[in-house]
Amino acid sequence: MLTWSRTKRLISIQRVLVKYSLDDLIKTSQALRPLRFVFMLGGRRLDRDAPIGQRIRLALEELGPIFIKFGQALSTRRDLLPNDIADELAKLQDQVPPFDGAVAREIVNRAYGFDLSDIFAEFEETPMAAASIAQVHPAKLHDGTEVVVKVLRPDMREVIQRDLDVMYGMAELTQRYLPDGERLRPVEVVAEYDKTIMDELDLLREAANGSQLRRNFEHSSLLYVPEVYFDYCRREVLVTERIFGVQVSDMDAMRAAGTNIRRLAENGVEIFFTQVFRHNFFHADMHPGNIFVDIRDPDFPVYQSVDWGIIGTLSHEDQRYLAENFLAFFDRDYHRVAQLHVDSGWVPPDTRVDEFEFAVRTVCEPIFNKPLAEISFGTVLMRLFETARRFEMEVQPQLVLLQKTLLNIEGLGRDLYPELDLFETAQPILRAWMEERLGGKAVIDDLRTQWPDIREGLRELPTVLRRVGEQAANGQLRVRMDAGELRALREDLKRQDRRRYVATAGMAAALIGAVLVFEVDPQGAGWLTMAAGVAVTLWARPR
């Protein structure tokens, strides 16, 4: 509901829009449209002759970090925006007005509990870049190591919490009164965003994220992640190695150096899919302000990643369904795409697969075999939203962060190399991952990992079987299952691939068989279990 504090914030938002002469946005705002004339009374207004992109940028800066992040996300979508507006919004990536360097020094001193001169031989109060949540200052350790010091903006938690409260209020109204409210799950989406952005305010968490990302790409020639100096990190302060790359949006500098732009674009796609599927740990704030390029060897450019406050992960089930969806899409197997959506529970279980298949084909078929420059993803997304509404597809809050990241990557690819064939680049990466994850070697590795549990189960199984036999002989064996459990089981069976249950049953049969031969050949029992498990699991794996 709209409490008084939420209403006050909405009014202040509208006043900012009026101040920057963005009247059209107010007229189309349904929530407070009846009050628009009140907001237009008085107040300083920016000259309408100022470029609209500049007015939008200034309004977002004044409204605060959540709105700045919205502008950052939009800035990567030049296919959806006029160039002048996209250019202005790009300034939100690292050119937000900074806060006073003396205040930054005070925050660092307070975080350490003593003067920063005890740690840094040099600390420049003028920041080298400023964004919505923090700003960074160049510095030097006493041993001469050049570093950057990221300092959280003051009072960020209170500012962000205020706007999150408004977002929750609007989400509750949307869910309650809009026809699509339940399907869109706006409250859950806001809750996911709440968790994400509040985590970003803990720079110790970001330090841990950066360290893990660096370890994931330690031996990679595609991506370099700066070292984190944990001894100097605090919740409000992050100290990392200083890098000297070219910002990924500086196309003039890269072209002047003779950079292999095509290779750079293709490597970006490989990095994304590697993070999502192989590492299950992906950088989810990949706007150009956070990505640099080492062009010392221009034919083999290397990405450099900074700002790891927002990291995404997926459940194993979502990973698998997404990978299979991608591959089915690349193969134009729209029936498989439709069936996977039903199996995963992303659409209602009574959805007609053939109808959903035709709808997906209608949207996706026109974009195949086209480079990014000829694909309007804005149009594709709108048509996908229409399809989702028609088939009552529920929004998956846990995938929103991935979808946002994928849009960022596609936007970057469009800017770097519009001729990039996204499908051709991504397909072999995904196929290799699927084979690695679901192939025979993966099955054997899984069995090797689980073997201690299996062996322990074998030891206990004779006792369990003896007790069951005694109860059955005495007429004391009872099997109880309430209606709730039955309903849950039915629902689970609808959502899961039934072959997985066959695999489980096959493994159980193998275990029992192993017990029966255990007395004759203990070693043979283990190999029998292993062999049967491999055979059954290979048969049952998804095709």
Q: Which helix (H) or strand (E) holds 419?
A: none
Q: CA-to-CA distance for 139 and 127, rounded, in angstroms?
A: 10
Give 214-269 as a DSSP string.
HHHTTT-SSEE-PPB-GGG-BTTEEEEE----EETT-HHHHHHTT--HHHHHHHHH
Calpha distance 107→49 (Å, rounded): 40
Contact 284, 404 (CB under 8 A): yes
Tokens of 58: 């200034």
Spatial contact of 137 and 117, defined as CB atoms under 8 Å apart? no
Residue type, 382: M
3-state secondary structure 102-144: HHHHHHHHHHHCCCHHHCEEEECCCCCEECCCEEEEEEEECCC
Greatest pairwise CA separation for the chain in angstroms: 94
Measured distance CA(150)–CA(196) in Å, rounded: 19
Catalytic residue, chosen from 94, 163, 285, 343, is 285
For residue 304, list its beta bridge partners.
224, 292
Q: Which tokens belong to 60? A: 């977002």
Contact present, 95 and 190 (Cβ < 8 Å): no
CA distance 315 to 434: 16
* Cα(359)–Cα(384) distance, integer angstroms: 9
For residue 35, count other CB atoms closer than 10 A to its CB. Answer: 15
Task: Please enumerate in sequence order all residues whose Cβ is within 8 A of that of 382, keeping only pairs 6 or more positions apart, or say none.
Answer: none
Cβ atoms of residues 334 and 360 within 8 Å: yes
End-to-end Cα separation, the chain, in angstroms: 48
Query: What residue type is assigned to position 169 of the chain?
Result: G
Q: Rounded to an integer, what distance in angstroms lies between the CA atom of residue 464 and that of residue 467?
A: 5
Q: How far, CA to CA in Å, does 420 sit from each of 392, 411, 465?
A: 33, 12, 61
- Token pair for residue 340? 């996977």
Contact partners, residue 504, CB within 8 Å, separation at least 6: none
521 is catalytic: no
Looking at residue 3, the DSSP 8-state letter turns out to be -
Record the tokens describing residue 92, joined without a space.
């939100």
Residue type (1 letter), 403:
Q
Helix (H) or strand (E) holding 12: helix 4-19
How far is C-alpha 440 from the geometric centre of its chain's CA atoms? 29
SS3 label, residue 51: coil
Question: Which residues are catalytic, by number?
Answer: 285
